[in-house]
Amino acid sequence: MTLRPLWEARGVAVVGASDRPGAVGRLPVEFLRRYGYAGGVYPVRPDGAPVCGLPSYASVVDAGRHGPVDLAMLMVAADKVVGGVRDCAAAGVPVVIVCSSGFAETGETGAALQDELVGVARELGVRVLGPNCIGTVGTGSGQVSSFSPLFSGESTELVPGGLGFVSQSGALGYGAVSLAFQRGLGLGWVVNTGNEADIGAAEVMAEIAREPGCTGILGYAESLTDVGALAQVVASGVPVAVLKAGRSESGARAAASHTGALATGDRVVDAALRQAGVVRVDDIEELLDVGDVMGLVPSVRGRQVRRVAVVTTSGGSGILAADAIEAAGRGLELAALSEPTLAALEEIVPAFGSTANPVDVTASVMSDPALFDRALSVIAEDGNVDAIVACFCVLTGKDVDDVVAALARVRETRDVPVVVVRTGADHLAPDAGAAMRAAGLPAYPTPERGVRALAALGRMAASEHRDRPTSSPVDLELSWDMGEDALKQALARHGLPVPVGRIALDRADAVAAVEEAGGLAVLKAVVPGLLHKSDAGGVVLAVTAEAAPDVFDRLAAMGGSVLVEEMVPGGVEALVGTTDSPLGRVLTVGVGGILTELVADVALRLLPVDRQDVEEMLDETRLARLLDGVRGQGPADRAALVDTVLAVADVAAALPPGAELDLNPVTVLAQGRGARILDAALAIPQEAGD
């Protein structure tokens, strides 16, 4: 069933309509008429009194006799909502917006009522948006099926455009919409999803993405449950940017393992959105800034947007832009201009300017439109330049027209993305913003904001559809009370690299085990519940056969058995682990060893993963540099680590719900010598392991 009636209905019924000025039951009727909605507007109220000069109807069924009704807004008390849904179903209304509050947001009683609402709606074949929902807008049709006070403003005008805006929050969402309209950012479809009892944000985004002319989708979310649907939207060619609230880790559970401690909720959200190709932003301002560049995406999708040329009339702006590009990390870098480009710029830019990137063309070049146009063309034609950030200060008068014309020509001739930074008060050039927007030039007041938006464009352009891998689960015999020795044996049976070793039965056997391990060994206390052995003094390195009896006694006194393993030479220490999250099972890879949580340098992905995923995870952390070799050391066996991680991912698919697997450290030896899992811990809820 389509959700299009949310923004393009043939007729809208407002159940619980009122004629009292200012009443929420009157506002949708008032707004639908005010903003030019051409479909039928059908107030529904028991007494049949007129609303805003329109006749009202005793029921939705009655209203439907006077014209098609595709959408109904229920604005009645919570205990009347289920009856309203039944009336809508009888009238053949496919989609209902439940504006009423008093459901799951209020506690157990409300949650039970919400469950009843969803059950009845599904039984009758009616889709429900909400409850606790402020409503929706289709700017192209003027369908303001909402009671947000935004639309009561005397100067509020709808600004149509190619972006969808979907928000779980009603008040915050429509506040952001007002800011979008104020800056001239066109929104074609606006939907508040409320409690999401039935229709969720991801489903709405997917529906909007299918609309002709949709160039991107912006979203505000307080919870995420269907990242896969967002991935499908991005794969369809429509970019998505989301402001996900709740970055704080307050209230996060304390995890016993390194993996659990590092794979916290917000990091998992970051990983899931990254895998889906969704751009995550930090605030409303950035969300709208990203919206401004979304119109450029079709021309750059699949291309690299990394090497940036900065053109400025202010040395200060150029420096700030360069700083912002460096702060963007792997996403952007200053372009290295070619020798022919530098030579050509030397003939254009005065000696007191700068031809090195950032290119300071100076105000004297700006005063000559032909020179400025020539300088821009030279830079844009450089094959080392993927994008241009043009920084200006205090633009006024004819300078605005010249800048817009020159930059627009650059976009047309080479189709290179151009972001404009215009630092100066609006009153200096009141029409500059609109002129730049009309020319397809997103403009920002500071270099930092312009570069941040360009970095987001780069991520959107690079997003490409990849068939997600499938897991190859293994058959493992695991239990909640499994010790390190048994766990390593199970991993070894699956081909994972573990050191040679075994449990020593007594003092004499410890000597024999050390000799079996090559004469120099590591002895470990294997104690139920003891995950961090090193912190408790439960690991002794470089133990000889002579020292083995005394070390055995000391470790056995800790209350468990003693594991004797070969002494593995030093290498690059990595962490590999898996844990559960509300979005799925998470794979964690990063810097390992005793400083794991202090450094906290890890990359996360939702399972399943493939080799490309793992390679990207390594590159996102310091592991990449460590594996390449630092301070004169040769490269480590990166391929062996990737193979190990992929095997761990297969093992993770066999783990029961709630299990955490923590391999730390995994030592990666010199090139061609493989890797070894030096320490392994498995935590399984007892009920899952029984």
Return residue ranges of the chain for CATH 3.40.50.261: 302-462
Tell me how many degrees the CA angle 674-679-680 measures, rounded to the nearest 5: 105
Class of 572-689 in CATH: alpha beta
Q: In DSSP terms, which residues pair with 561 in a beta bridge?
A: 526
Tell me how many degrees the CA angle 445-401-183 measures, rounded to the nearest 5: 35
Class of 302-462 in CATH: alpha beta
Query: Which distant-in-sequence residues (6+ apart) come within 8 Å of 5 by Cβ?
Result: 70, 71, 94, 95
In one-letter notation, the amino acid at residue 494 is H
Mind giving me the DSSP string for 494-562? TT----SEEEE-SHHHHHHHHHHTTS-EEEEEE-TT---TGGGT-EEEEE-TTTHHHHHHHHHTTSSEE
In the DSSP assignment, the letter for residue 656 is: P
- CA atoms of 519 and 504, how far apart (whole Å): 15
Q: What is the number of other CB atoms lying within 10 angstroms of the CB of residue 121?
A: 22
Sole residue written with tokens 């935004």: 150
Cβ contact 610:470 at 8 Å: no
SS3 label, residue 362: helix
Sole residue written with tokens 């913003």: 433
What are the backbone angles phi and psi of residue 549, rounded to the nearest 5°?
-60, -45
CATH 3.40.50.720 for the 4-214 domain, yes or no:
yes
In one-letter notation, the amino acid at residue 577 is G
Residue 363 has a pLDDT of: 79
CATH of 500-566, picked from 1.10.3720.10, 1.10.8.60, 3.30.1490.20, 3.30.2180.10, is 3.30.1490.20
Residue 1 has a pLDDT of: 72
Stated pTM of the model: 0.87
- CA atoms of 431 and 406, how far apart (whole Å): 17
Write 568-572 long-range contacts (CB < 8 A, 24+): 568/499, 568/522, 568/667, 568/669, 568/676, 568/678, 569/669, 570/667, 571/636, 571/667, 571/668, 571/669, 571/670, 571/675, 571/676, 572/623, 572/626, 572/627, 572/636, 572/667, 572/668
Rounded mean pLDDT for each run of 10 residues along the chain, 690 residues in total:
94 97 96 97 95 96 96 97 98 98 93 96 97 97 97 95 96 96 96 96 96 96 87 93 77 42 73 92 96 89 92 91 89 95 94 91 81 91 95 85 88 86 89 88 95 94 73 69 84 92 95 95 87 81 95 94 92 93 92 76 92 94 90 88 96 89 94 94 70
- CA atoms of 449 and 471, how far apart (whole Å): 40
Residue 193 has a pLDDT of: 97
Return residue ranges of the chain for CATH 3.30.470.20: 572-689
- CA atoms of 346 and 378, how far apart (whole Å): 11
Query: Which distant-in-sequence residues (6+ apart) come within 8 Å of 435 by Cβ?
Result: 400, 401, 404
Q: In DSSP terms, which residues pair with 334 in a beta bridge?
A: 308
Q: What is the number of other CB atoms lying within 10 angstroms of the CB of residue 123?
A: 11
Sole residue written with tokens 């050390």: 514
Cβ contact 474:494 at 8 Å: yes
- CA atoms of 259 and 579, how far apart (whole Å): 7
Return residue ranges of the chain for CATH 3.30.1490.20: 500-566
Write 362-367 long-range contacts (CB < 8 A, 24+): 362/313, 363/313, 365/313, 366/313, 366/399, 366/402
